Structure 1
Amino acid sequence: MNSTQLLPHGVATESRLANSVLVDVILDVGRSASPVKHRSEHCIERHIATWLAVTGRSLPSRGDAVEQFRHSLESIPEADARIREEMFSCIISPLDGESVAEWVSACARRLHARVHHWYPLWVGAAWFALDWCRDNGYRDLVFVARDALPFHTAARTLQAGGDCGAVEIHVGHSFRDDEGRRQLLFPTGILREPRLAVLDSGCYGSVAAEVLRGRSREDTAVLHFVSRNPSIFGYLNQLNAARALDPSLDSGRVRDFAVFAIDTVEALPKPYRLERLPNGSVQAVVLDLLSFVLGLSVLEEVAVLSRQPPDFSELQAHADDLCRRYCKGEELGLFDSPIPAQAPPQSDLHGIEIHPVLPQRNLF
């Protein structure tokens, strides 16, 4: 991922991710995940050592680590103060007399206890995307933005098992410039591939609209984990379709379940963010110690679960069970209710008309 293609509202130019090696280190986490040791303190110490090496910083005190993590939470644009405080309370372990590594391990256990229910569905979404691309002749699949890192990790691990055919998987990024315009950073040449599929966490399709600019709709597929756009396929929407007709469940809670699902994956701690340099290039910037280690820890959990292809009937049953539990008010994430919806401006969705995009067009 040394060279990337920047697309500011349909005008393709060349740019570079200035420190792509850093992102490669993060994306390689699945390759070293051990089914036995991935939750051990040794694993956390390894992630801490990686953070120290790539940042050149010294190990912060627990108090400083807490404040730096709180500052990173404040950078989540969609989350209000209530949501951030709920996330903080869910993750942060009391500051007892343990070492920094022991304390970070305790925070990781608290995080996993809250979000592990969703891991099988993230693996299932990655498997569906790979399987669909293989069956329909799509050689390139791009996982878009940091929110899609769990799906990318799952796909990469599943591919290592050799069951997904010749599908090339890539990571692209999405961010907004100083003027609020969405920009995509994709591997160079990908947009010129004859057939291209992208997987985004969701949910309205502003990223898909950018990808479709200048490309044939017939040769471009868009998959979302959760979709709120009837033109775009949503993996969890498909799994959850029958629950919307279940008279024993509150229809409003069923709708909220899909929103809550995407909020959960998008609110996960991220190892890095992107920023534009004065010379116009874009670089990855490592976040605070806790965000970095917790982000890698989640990816490692997903990688371990992806050692074997998922069973669709089991995934369906798991999604049904989660939806029922959510409708009953059980705690299944980092906050109690969905983040208030913020639909993008209509201009961001230009190009996503009422005509469905593949695979939505073929499936429904």
Structure 2
Amino acid sequence: MSSRRGGAAAVLAAAPRVPAGDVPAWLTGLLTECPGPDAASASAAWAGIGEHWIARWCAITGTPAPAMDDAIRDFIQTMRGEGDLSEVQLAQVCHAIDPGRGHTLADGAGSAIERFLWRVRPWLPLWVSFAHWVVRWCVHRRRRHVLFLARDMLTTYLTARRLDLKLSTGLDIRLAHASRADHGALADVLGLREGEWFEPERVALVDSGCYGTVMSRLAGQIDAGTSAEEEAACLFYFSRNPKIFGYLNYLLSPSILELDIAGTDVADFVIYAGDLLEAMPKPYRVVRTESGLAAEPQDLLTFCLGMAVLKEVDDFVAAGPLISIPQAQRRALELYNAYANASGNRMHADSLLFHTPAPQQLPADYGFEALDFQSFPPQNEIFGSAPG
């Protein structure tokens, strides 16, 4: 066993709860140990993947695996508890991945993973493209510290870590376990151990998107006492806050300009794309303990699907090459066409996890009230910083 796996085993020995600061090593170790495809039949190969993640879940939690029907019930309860999807969206997700009855747990989990990944794969280039853009932008703008808000950003965080190794950028890339439900001190959400210290130095905060209420609190902690040019940059995969950069908003801006005047709702698709990323099953949840924040595995099926998605993204980045911005724009438009035609075309509908964006309510605290557009990175880098 390599030293890397040995380190992961040491982290896993502390399960079922993993300190927040050890989550990156824990996830990396799990992904390293996942078997690749073999020469068996497709169904047997997926059952083998399901069996692998079931064994990992049982070893981590110290509990026996449930029956398949119970695993599906627990998955539904977890997804509903996360609050990222409407009831209609949740029903569509369950219909899309339901392996049917009468399967063994390994066969059922493997089938659910296969059905889920089939619908997720077309989105991987956009997630990886966003992570690649973040890394390049931070290098170009000398943003040394890059904080990805867990857990929605697990896919892009792991991608950025792998890209950082490939490109040798020297960036300090971390997970910040801030959320709407629990938002502690900076050292708390970063999972710093006793004696560790984090001195913010030209920080970029990266999140899935929407309005930025969580990010605004974190940015406020980091920006305390800093000069205007040192304020944290806030990078979103998608945005409903006009003061926060949204990668997909800009990626699709030519299509929005062209197609919205024809009566289509491309902007709604941006929200849909954000819902999809945020709805990815999270392999762990964050809990507060006496010693700080910690991660513990989700229910069995959520864990299996979440780890399978992370493995798929990791393999995609390792295989390369990365796509260009124009290629990402074309992929986004292809996905928009599937979304726009889902209601009238069964083939398009079957390729989606769900068909509509969730309605969003404007939060009471919109965030960033005191900031203007011209001093808010990266908006000023895009639109220019000259007043007028």
Q: Shared topology, TM-score over 0.5?
A: yes
- Structure 1 position 48, deviation (Å): 1.6
- Structure 1 position 344, deviation (Å): 2.1
From 123, 132, 154, the counterpart of 2:128: 123
From 378, 381, 384, the counterpart of 1:359: 378
1:284 aligns with: 295
Does the 8 A contact of 1:30 with 1:304 survive in 2?
A: no
Unaligned runs of 5+ in 2: 1-16, 343-347, 384-388
From 36, 61, 64, the counterpart of 1:58: 64
- Structure 1 position 207, deviation (Å): 2.6
1:25 aligns with: 26
- Structure 1 position 26, deviation (Å): 2.1
For residues 217-258 of structure 1, the C-alpha deviation after alignment (integer angstroms, 9 at most, x for no partner) is 422211110012222111111210100111487555201110
From 210, 214, 232, the counterpart of 2:244: 232
Matches within 5 A, 1:132-143: 132-143=137-148
Q: Which amino acid aligns with 2:297?
A: V
- Structure 1 position 205, deviation (Å): 1.5
- Confirm or deny that 1:257 pairs with 2:269: yes
2:220 aligns with: 213
In structure 2, C-alpha distance between the alignment counterparts of 1:84 and 1:218, rounded to whole Å: 43
Q: Secondary structure at the match of 1:75?
A: helix
In structure 2, C-alpha distance between the alignment counterparts of 1:187 and 1:281, rounded to whole Å: 8
- Structure 1 position 88, deviation (Å): 1.4
In structure 1, C-alpha distance between the alignment counterparts of 2:209 and 2:240, rounded to whole Å: 8
Q: Which amino acid aligns with 1:121?
A: L
In structure 1, C-alpha distance between the alignment counterparts of 2:217 and 2:137, rounded to whole Å: 22
Q: Secondary structure at the match of 2:238?
A: coil
**Higher-helix-fraction structure:** 2
Matches within 5 A, 1:57-206: 57-96=63-102, 98-160=103-165, 162-163=166-167, 165-177=169-181, 185-188=189-192, 192-206=199-213
1:327 aligns with: 340
Unaligned runs of 5+ in 1: 1-15
Q: Which amino acid aligns with 1:134?
A: V
In structure 2, C-alpha distance between the alignment counterparts of 1:80 and 1:115, rounded to whole Å: 19
- Closer, same or farther in 2 for the Cα pair 1:231/1:355, shift >3 Å? farther
1:318 aligns with: 331
After TM superposition, the score normalised by the length of structure 1 is 0.85
Backbone CA RMSD of aligned residues: 2.8
After TM superposition, the score normalised by the length of structure 2 is 0.80
Does the 8 A contact of 1:34 with 1:304 survive in 2?
A: no
Q: Secondary structure at the match of 1:69?
A: helix
- Closer, same or farther in 2 for the Cα pair 1:182/1:201, shift >3 Å? farther
In structure 1, C-alpha distance between the alignment counterparts of 2:84 and 2:162, rounded to whole Å: 30
- Confirm or deny that 1:223 pairs with 2:235: yes
Larger Rg: 2
